[in-house]
Structure 1
Amino acid sequence: MVSELRLFVEHDFQEKAQQYFAVLSSRGVAVKIELVEKLNARFFRLNPDLALCVDIEGLWLSANGMKMQPDWKAEVGRLKRASLKSEMIARACNLGEKPKLIDATAGLGHDSLLMAHLGAEVTLVERHPILFTLLESSKAQAENDPFLKPIVARIHLVFSDSADYLKRQIAQKKIVDVVYLDPMFPQRDQNQNAVKKQAQVKKQMQLLHVLLPKDGDMDLGDHLLELARKMAKRVVVKRPRLAVFLADQKTNHQWHGDACRFDAYFQHPISE
């Protein structure tokens, strides 16, 4: 992460920017507020470095002429089309049973939003302070939407390292119905021929690549699978269709789609 991020804001939203400044500072992110005349496409082209910005729609990440936020409101169309029968993720996570579910690889939260819509009670865990604050902002915006409000009420955000969070649950002998893992950058360890065939990463993922570290095991999730299997009745891992097994652990069952698959690991309930 850069040592200090600029937080761009127009005059009308300075108070909101100050609120985000305080939150980010409390989470160890050094931020410098810069007042600008207009946040528009030209401004972002002229300011390509990684930065944050604030407008009426909340907090955004910007870089390379683009800006993005998780933007849960933009998912409404997808949610309205979704059903337990039509969504492969619903079968993989057994969402018809309205499970208590931990999403240990939060990302932009779109899968968690879908799973909450289809009945799950979701705990969304994220350790990166900027990404977590972006998720908080998106949830706050969604709470003002009549369609999304009851859905996001079933999503609980937790600011924590996922491995540490799962270890605490294990130590407390907590059991959860499902732990869901969607490693952020699976292309790094999947079949190389499949990598070459991949389309260009979407804008949101491009900016996440800029924001998140590209070393360490944070993004691959291998270390989370073993922990998840100790405290979940079912662990579900989302993978590109031709990717290797996470942590080289063969699955108990798979659901295959055109672009991705879901690997499931079933466990016997743990006696308390």
Structure 2
Amino acid sequence: MLACACEDRVYSQLSDDLAERLTLPSLGVVDPRFVSDFDLLLWRGKDGLSLRATGKKAPGPVRAEFVTGKAGYRRDHGGGSGQMIARAVGLQRTRQTLRVLDATAGLGQDAYVLAGLGCELQLLERSPVIHALLEDGLARAAASPEAVALTSKMTLLAGDSILWLRQQPGPVADVIYLDPMFPHRDKSARVKKEMELFRPVVGADEDAADLLSAALEKAEYRVVVKRPRKAPPVSGPQPTTQLEGKSSRYDIYALKALP
């Protein structure tokens, strides 16, 4: 289903190394439009590493991007501490720098927003494929004067979030942020494209309840869970409070008051 490939021989070694690391086939230099044996490629090219479908009618690639596009716009024109995610983690209730663990990091977009609001981030992403995309995006951002000030606040960790949390001896962050994979109702082209590519690789987070339980044990002040607006809360304790937007909702599990 999935293989590594590249657009030019200059990227062959990087592509081969990634294939070995992820135990995936390496196709070398290919044109994705004419690949029929694999549905998806981890594609290395001049714009970095991306996940892309094969075939002539495939949607465009998806990558972790912090320099341009949506992330760049939010960096330059973001809504500040009044936006919902800032209120959810409690930035309006404290003046100290919040340490946030994003335990379902994905492509790092929410973590990047929080870094722009002054938080210190640790990121966990258990899918090796998505982890590789995020790792590449952070590496490219490190070379960008516009993005490095924020991505330097983002530390990418390796491992399964539930296991990692259970192995820690005490609280790991002021706030633990969760965004479990769910059936998106958002009809925007970008969300539809990302979900179409991600689902065969990641699947659904069937153990979201276990992740919430582990997070509640290891957060200092609160756990925040992002959900579709009309979806039920994750199984387990009821949220202390909720913040509802047009398409999504933040369920907040307050453990104690922020300092």
TM range (shorter): 0.7 to 0.9
Q: Which amino acid aligns with 2:256?
A: H
Does residue 120 (structure 1) correspond to residue 110 (structure 2)? The answer is no
Which whole-Å deviations, capped at 9, do the CAs of 1:36-89 have from their partners, x for residues lacking one?
A: 3xx5xxx43765721121111111111151321122222111222214333110
Residue 136 of structure 1 deviates from its aligned partner by 0.6
Structure 1: give runs of 5+ residues left out of the alignment.
188-194
Q: Against the structure 1 CA distance between its residues 45 and 87, is the aligned structure 2 distance closer, same or farther, given a 3 Å change threshold? A: farther
Residue in 2 that maps onto 1:32: 26
For residue 208 of structure 1, give the secondary structure of its aligned residue in structure 2.
Answer: helix
Q: Which amino acid aligns with 1:17?
A: S
Contact 1:69–1:204 under 8 Å retained in 2: no
Does residue 243 (structure 1) correspond to residue 231 (structure 2)? The answer is yes
Does residue 19 (structure 1) correspond to residue 14 (structure 2)? The answer is yes
Residue 186 of structure 1 deviates from its aligned partner by 4.8
Residue in 2 that maps onto 1:228: 215
Q: Which amino acid aligns with 2:26?
A: K
For residue 68 of structure 1, give the secondary structure of its aligned residue in structure 2.
Answer: coil
Q: Against the structure 1 CA distance between its residues 8 and 225, is the aligned structure 2 distance closer, same or farther, given a 3 Å change threshold? A: same
Residue in 2 that maps onto 1:106: 105
- What TM-score results when the alignment is normalised by the length of structure 2? 0.85
CA distance in 1, matches of 2:83, 2:200: 30
RMSD of Structure 2 on Structure 1 (CA)? 2.2
Q: Against the structure 1 CA distance between its residues 254 and 142, is the aligned structure 2 distance closer, same or farther, given a 3 Å change threshold? A: same
Residue in 2 that maps onto 1:209: 199
Which whole-Å deviations, capped at 9, do the CAs of 1:148-188 have from their partners, x for residues lacking one?
A: 1010000011110000111122xx2234200000111255x
Does residue 92 (structure 1) correspond to residue 88 (structure 2)? The answer is yes
For residue 238 of structure 1, give the secondary structure of its aligned residue in structure 2.
Answer: strand
Q: Which amino acid aligns with 1:199?
A: K
Does residue 50 (structure 1) correspond to residue 44 (structure 2)? The answer is no
CA distance in 2, matches of 1:121, 1:95: 12
Structure 2: give runs of 5+ residues left out of the alignment.
none
CA distance in 1, matches of 2:82, 2:167: 35
CA distance in 2, matches of 1:252, 1:259: 20
- 1:261 is matched with which residue: 233, 249, 252? 249
Count of residue pairs brought into register by the alignment? 244
Contact 1:24–1:130 under 8 Å retained in 2: no
CA distance in 1, matches of 2:18, 2:90: 36
Residue 7 of structure 1 deviates from its aligned partner by 2.4
CA distance in 2, matches of 1:179, 1:88: 16
CA distance in 1, matches of 2:15, 2:213: 36
Q: Against the structure 1 CA distance between its residues 238 and 109, is the aligned structure 2 distance closer, same or farther, given a 3 Å change threshold? A: same
After superposition, residues 71-90 of structure 1 pair within 5 angstroms as 71-73=65-67, 74=69, 75-90=71-86
Contact 2:81–2:91 under 8 Å retained in 1: no
Contact 1:7–1:17 under 8 Å retained in 2: no
Does residue 60 (structure 1) correspond to residue 50 (structure 2)? The answer is yes
Residue in 1 that maps onto 2:187: 199
- What TM-score results when the alignment is normalised by the length of structure 1? 0.81
CA distance in 1, matches of 2:82, 2:34: 40
Provide the identity percentage: 32
Which whole-Å deviations, capped at 9, do the CAs of 1:67-119 have from their partners, x for residues lacking one?
A: 21122222111222214333110011123532111101111211011111111
Moved over 4 A (4+): 45-48
Residue in 1 that maps onto 2:179: 182
Q: Against the structure 1 CA distance between its residues 125 and 69, is the aligned structure 2 distance closer, same or farther, given a 3 Å change threshold? A: same
CA distance in 2, matches of 1:254, 1:239: 10
Contact 1:126–1:161 under 8 Å retained in 2: yes
Q: Which amino acid aligns with 1:228?
A: A
